[in-house]
Chain A
Amino acid sequence: MNDHDPKISDPGYPTGAPENVSRRRFLLASAGITAGSLVLGFGLSVAPNKAAAAAQKMPPGANVPAFLELRKDGKVRLLSPFNEGGQGVFTAMAQIVGEEMDVAPDSFIVENAPAGSDYLVVYGKMRITGGSMSVRTSYDTMRKLGAAARQMMLEAAAKKLDAPVSDLSTEPGKVVHKASGKSLGYGELAGDALDQEVPSPDSVTLKDPKDFKWIGEPVKRVDVYEKSTGKAIYAMDAKVDGMLHAAVQHAPRLGLKPGDISNLDEVKGMAGVMSVHKLDGAVAVVAERFWDAKTAVEAAKVDWQEPSEDEKSKIRYMPADFSTEEFAKQLANTKGDGTEAESEGDIASGFDGAAKTVDATYQSQYLHHAQIEPASTLARFNEDGSLDIWLPNQAPEQFQAQIADAAGIKPEQVKVNSPMLGGFFGRHFLYPAANPFPQAVQLAKEVGKPIKVIWTREQEFLRDPLRPMAAVRFRGALDDQGMPVALEAISACEGPTEALNGHNPDKVDAMAVEGLTGKSYAIPNRRIAQNYVENPTSLAYWRSVGHSMNDFFYEAFLDEMADAGGQDPYELRMKLLEGNERLTNLLKAVGDLSGGWKRGPFDAEDGTRRARGVAMASPFGSEAAAIAEVSIQDGQIVVHDIWDVLDPGSIVNPAIIKAQIMGAATLGTSEALIEEVAYKNGEPTARNFDYYPILGGARAPRIHAKVIESGAKMGGVGEPPLPAVPPAIANAVSVLTGQRVRSMPMDKLDLKKG
C-alpha cells in the first residue's frame, strides 16, 4: 500500500506503476481508513528530497521520511516495522514515536511498513513481529526516530518563523515561539518538515523519562473503533479489481502429489468453475466467487500419489502409519543422556548424598495456532512484471525473498502488503507448505488475473505447523530437610528452529528446552539436556514457544519435589529464590493479588471443593507468576480464577499489557485443559473447531492481571504471561485429586477415579 508513496527512499524499492483511483481507494481502505478522510488529509511531502538522499547512508530506523508522513490536518501516518495482530504494537509505536516527536498517540494512523532495509529495527538488523521482541528491541531506535522528527519540525518552523531553533519549543502537535506567542501546527509544516536534513540518531536528545506524557500510560488503542465495527481490514478482506477466487484441496498427508482427478469433467462443469489446477501438494479451483470454487474443489476426487524416495528425502513426508499415540510412546521411551543445554554443579554427587529421590516423565501435545482468521493470499502481477501481494505475515522481508523465488522475479519486484493479522500466535512465519503464497503466485500466473486464495478452516488445519510434542524425563534429589539438591531434565523433542533450519547434532535447539533452562531456583546441581527426535509433522513457534510446555513440565515437577520433601510449594519457591529480590517480590505479589497464598483444598461459598496451584516462568526477558483456583465438577476441571502477574522490567502501555495477560492466560488455560492435535494413519483426526475445540467463554476463567515494573531491562509482554498458567492449573488439580498431572490436555485425565 505504499507504492504511491514517494518517500520510501530505499533505492532497491520499486516505486511502482501509476495507479487508478479505484485501486488507490482499495489501498487506502486496506489500511483501515475510509477513502474520504484520507483523501482530504492527504498532504504528502515530496519525492526525492534532501532527506531521502541523506537517508541512503542511514542505519535501520533512522530514515525519518521512510516512517512518517505528515498530513495537513495534523495527523501523522506512521509505517510500523511491526505488524498489529492484537498485541497492540501499533499503539505502542504511536506512543513511543509520539512521545519524542510531541504528537499525541491518537493523532497517528499506523500501518505496517512495506519490505525495506529501513525497517530492520530488531537489534538494528532484522525484522520480525514475534518473540515478544517488538518494543523491547526497538524502543531506543523508535524514540530516536521520534526525536529526529521533532528536530525536523523545529528546523522547518525556524525557517518559516525566521527565528533560531533555540528560541522554539514544542507542545503536542505544534511548534511554539514563546517570544512572539506564535505557533505552527505540525500539519502546517507538513509540506516542509520532511525535506529538512534528517538528524543522525546519535545527535538527538531524548526526553527524561520523568517528563513522559504517554509512555507508561494506559493510552487508548489507535485501532479499537475499526476493530469494533468490522472496518479493520485483514488479508482475508483484501480485494483488487478483476480479482478471482481460488479454493484448494490439500493432500491428506504432507508430501503426497496430485495425480488424476477422476471426476475432472464433472468438477469443471460445476457452477461458476473457471479452471482446475494441480499445485504442489494440492489441487485448486478458480471461480469468480469463493463459494463456487470451494464447493467444486471439495468435490474433486484426486488420486494422491506417493512421492519417490528421493523426493521424500527433501521434504517432511508424512507416513501413512503415523499416529500421535505411538509417537508419544516413542518420545517417552527415548533413552540417553542427551545433548547438554545447561548444567550447574555436579548432578551425580547431588544424587549420591540424597535423602530422597523423585522420578517422573511429563508429556506435551501438538497444538494448532487456531487464529480465527484462516490463511489467505491475494496475488496480482502487474504489466511491468512486478507482483503485488497481500498476505498475513510476521516477517515481510523474508516473505519477499521467497515470494520472488516462487514468482521467478527479483525481490525488489515484489511488493509485500501486510494487512493487520486476525490473530497470529506464531502462525505467520515462513514455514514450508504452510503459507498459501506459492499457490496464489502460480494461479495468478496460470490464469493471468489477480487471484485470491482462501484456505478454509479444514485446509488451514491440514497445513498449520504445530507446537512440538515433547516427553521430559525428570529426576530430582532432596536432602534430609526436604530441600531439592539436584534436578535433571532430559527432553525428547524437536525444537521449531531445528525443524525449520536443520538439526545440528552437536547443538541443542534453545527453543526446545527454554523453560527447563533459565530457571532461577537455587538448586545446586542441575542438568538440562535434549534428545533430538525428528517429527514427520511440520513444527512451528506457538505463543511462548518452548515455554508453552517446558514451564508446565518443570513447575509441576517442582511441586512433586515439594510434596516429596513435605514442603508447601509456595514456601519452597520462596526459599529457592532467597536473595533474588525481583522474583521474591513477584511471588509475593501474586500471592497478595490472590488474597494471600492458600493451597487448599477448601470449600468455596458455592459449595464446591477447590484448591490452588502456583507456578513461575522466566520467558522472553520478563518474569511471570500465576496462581490458579480450580474445582472438579462432574468429572471436568473448572478453572475459576487465575491471578497472573507479569514483571517486564519497564513498560510502555499498562492497559495493553493487562489485555495481553488476559489473552495469554486464556490461551494457556485452553492449552492445559482442552487442546490436542491427534494423528491417526498419517492424518489429523480433527480439521475444524468441532473436533479441535478451543476454550470458549463458558469455561474461561476470571483473570486478575497485574503488572510490576521492577525497573529491570525491558522484557517481552505478549507471550510471557502464558507459561506459568498451565502448571498452576496442574498443581491445583493435583491437590484436589491427590494424583500428579503430568500431561496435557487435562480433559483427557480420568478425574472421576481421582
Chain B
Amino acid sequence: MKLKINGKSVDVQSGPDTPLLWVIRDELGMTGTKFGCGIAQCGACSVLLDGTVQRSCVLPVSAVGDSEVTTIEEIENDPVGKRVVEAWVDKEVPQCGYCQSGQVMAATSLLKSNDKPTEDDITAAMTNLCRCGTYNAINDTIASIAGTDAAKAGDAQ
C-alpha cells in the first residue's frame, strides 16, 4: 500500500489494520510521534492529515487513503508549524517533552484553521494530555503566536 507522508510517497508493508502510529514508528522508523494510550485519549500520537490533527493510534493505515500525512519530523517545513516550534522553544513549553510532539501538531492544526483563536477556541482544540502540567504554557504560547495574549501579560508571575 502507498502512503503519502512528509512530502514523499512510500510503500508500506504493515497489515491494513495496523494503526498509522505503528507504521510511522516501527516500519518507517520515525519515533517523534509518540505512543501514550492507544485509544485516542492522550494525543501523544497526533499527526496532521491534510493539515488537520488526527490521533494516529486509532487510525488504520488503510483508512489514510490519498490523504497527506505530516509528522513532527516535517513540521518545521510548514510555515505555521515552524512558528509554533519557534514559539515553543522561545517560551520553553516542554517539561519532559513526551507529549510535546502531539501538542505541537495540535497547535499547528488549530492555527492553520484559525489564526486568531480565542481562549475558548484554544481550550476546545488543545485536548492532548500533559502529565507534567504544561497547560498554561501551551495556552499562553498559542495566544502569543496569534498575538491575542496582550491581556495575559504578566499573569504567570
B95 touches A659 (CB 8 A): yes
The closest CB in chain A to the CB of B37 belongs to A457
Contacts of A710 in B (CB 8 A): none
CA distance A196 to B80 in the complex (A): 50
Given contacts A237-B31, A271-B15, are A372 and B135 in contact (CB under 8 A)? no
Q: Contacts A425-B131, A700-B135 hold; do A223 and B36 have CB atoms under 8 A apart?
A: no
Instruction: Assess the B155–A702 pair: CB atoms within 8 A.
Output: yes
Q: Could you tell me the distance between the alpha carbons of A325 and B73 in the complex, rounded to whole angstroms?
A: 47
**Could you tell me the distance between the alpha carbons of A663 and B18 in the complex, rounded to whole angstroms?**
34
- A696 near B129: Cβ-Cβ < 8 Å: yes
Fill in one digit per residue for B17-53: 1 if any A CB lies within 8 Å of its CB, else 0. 1110010011101111111111101101000000000
Q: In the complex, which of the residues A232, A425, A706 has the most CB atoms of chain B within 10 Å of its own CB atom?
A: A232
Add 4 more A-B contacts to A289-B27, A697-B126 (CB < 8 A).
A663-B133, A696-B129, A702-B136, A706-B157
Are B32 and A85 in contact, with the CB atoms below 8 A? no
Q: Which residues of A contact B96 (CB under 8 A)?
A: 84-86, 227, 371-373, 420-424
- Cβ 8 A contact of B127, one of A88, A233, A696, A705: A696
Docked-complex contact B98 and A422, CB < 8 angstroms: yes
**Which A residue sits closest to B105, measured CB to CB?**
A230
State in angstroms the CA–CA spacing of A297 and B83 once bound together. Answer: 42
Given A228-B85, A292-B15, is A234 in contact with B135 using a C-beta cutoff of 8 Å? no
| Cα of A75 to Cα of B85 in the assembled complex, Å | 24
Stretch at the interface among A93-101, A181-189, A260-268, A664-672: A664-672
For B13, the closest partner residue in chain A by CB is A289
Cβ B157 vs Cβ A422 within 8 A: no
Say whether, besides A86-B96, A659-B95, A667 and B26 are in contact (CB < 8 Å): no
* Contacts A225-B89, A236-B35, A373-B34 given; does A230 touch B72 at CB 8 Å: yes
- With A245-B26, A291-B19 known to touch, is A457 a contact of B38 (CB < 8 Å)? yes
Dominant secondary structure of chain B at its interface with chain A: loop
Q: How far is the CA of A698 from the CA of B121 in the complex (A)?
A: 11
Alpha-carbon distance between A228 and B18 when the two chains are bound, in angstroms: 27
From known contacts A291-B22, A697-B126, infer whether A372 and B138 are also in contact, taking CB-CB under 8 Å. Answer: no
Nearest CB of chain B from residue A295's CB, rounded to whole Å: 8
- Cβ of B75 within 8 Å of any chain A Cβ, yes or no, is yes
Q: Which residues of A contact B93 (CB under 8 A)?
A: 224, 228
Q: Is B101 on the interface with A (CB-CB < 8 A)?
A: yes
Measured between beta carbons, the chain B residues less than 8 angstroms from A165 are none
A422→B34 contact, CB < 8 A: yes
Whether a CB of chain B sits under 8 angstroms from the CB of A655 is yes
Q: Which of B73-125 contact A (CB under 8 A)?
A: 73, 75-76, 85, 88-89, 92-101, 104, 123-124
In the assembled complex, the Cα of A689 lies from the Cα of B94 at a distance in Å of 21
| Among B32, B73, B104, B131, contact of A372 (Cβ-Cβ < 8 Å) | B131
Of A271, A658, A667, A697, the residue contacting B123 (CB under 8 A) is A697
User: From residue 262 to 308 of chain A, which have CB atoms closer than 8 A to chain B?
Assistant: 271-272, 289-292, 295
A interface residue count range (under 10 / 10 to 19 / 20 to 34 / 35 or more) = 35 or more
- Give 3 closest A-B pairs by Cβ, nearest first: A230-B32, A227-B97, A666-B133
Is B134 interfacial (CB-CB < 8 Å)? yes
In angstroms, how far is the closest chain A Cβ from the Cβ of B111?
A: 15
Decide if A373 touches B98 in the complex (CB within 8 Å). yes
- A-to-B contact residues, CB < 8 Å: 84-88, 220-221, 223-234, 236-237, 239, 245, 271-272, 289-292, 295, 370-374, 420-425, 454, 456-457, 593, 655, 658-659, 662-667, 688-690, 694-698, 700, 702-706
Are B26 and A290 in contact (CB-based, < 8 A)?
yes
B131 A694 Cβ-Cβ under 8 A: yes
With both chains docked as a complex, state the minimum distance between the C-beta of B2 and any C-beta of chain A, in angstroms: 19
The reply to whether A229 and B92 contact each other, CB–CB distance below 8 Å, is no
Residues of A within 8 A of B132 (CB): 86, 423, 663
Q: B97 to A232, Cβ gap below 8 A?
A: yes
**Chain B residues bordering chain A, tally (CB within 8 A):** 61
Instruction: Kindly state the separation between the CA atoms of A86 and B137 in the bound complex, as whole angstroms.
Output: 14
Interface pair B131/A228, CB less than 8 Å apart:
no
Does B134 lie within 8 Å of A662, measured CB to CB? yes
Task: Please report the C-alpha to C-alpha distance between residue A624 and residue B22 in the assembled complex, in whole angstroms.
Answer: 43
- Whether A659 lies near B137 (C-beta < 8 A) is yes
Q: Which of A226, A233, A664 contacts B31 (CB 8 A)?
A: A233
| Distance in Å: Cβ of B101 to nearest Cβ of chain A | 4
Report the separation of the CA atoms of residues A425 and B96 in the bound assembly, to the nearest whole angstrom: 11
A372 touches B85 (CB 8 A): no
A688 and B37 contact, CB distance less than 8 A:
yes
B148 at the interface (CB under 8 A from A): no
Q: Which residue of B lies closest to A456 (CB)?
A: B38
- How far apart are A706's CB and chain B's nearest CB, in angstroms? 6
Complex partner residue of B39 from A87, A457, A655, A694, CB under 8 angstroms:
A457
| Cβ-defined contact, B98 with A234, below 8 A | yes
Closest-CB distance, A423 to chain B (whole angstroms): 5
B87 smallest CB distance to A (angstroms): 9
Max chain A Cβ within 10 angstroms of own Cβ: one of B25, B37, B104: B37
Q: Are B104 and A229 in contact (CB under 8 A)?
A: yes
Given the complex, which residues of A lie within 8 Å of B144, measured CB to CB?
none
**Pairs A–B under 8 Å by Cβ, sample size 17:** A87-B95, A224-B92, A227-B97, A230-B71, A230-B100, A236-B31, A239-B31, A291-B15, A420-B97, A454-B35, A662-B136, A662-B137, A664-B133, A666-B136, A694-B131, A698-B127, A704-B156
A373 near B127 (CB under 8 angstroms)?
no
- Judging by beta carbons under 8 Å apart, are A230 and B26 in contact? no
Chain B residues lying within 8 Å of A421, measured Cβ to Cβ, are 96
The answer, yes or no, to whether B62 is at the interface (CB within 8 Å) is: no
Instruction: Look across to chain B and name the residue whose beta carbon is closest to the beta carbon of A230.
Output: B32
Task: For the complex, give the distance between the alpha carbons of A245 and B101 in Å.
Answer: 23
**Contacting pair A704 B157 (CB below 8 A):** yes
Closest chain B residue to A369 by CB distance? B131
Residues of chain B with a CB closer than 8 A to A221's CB: 92, 94
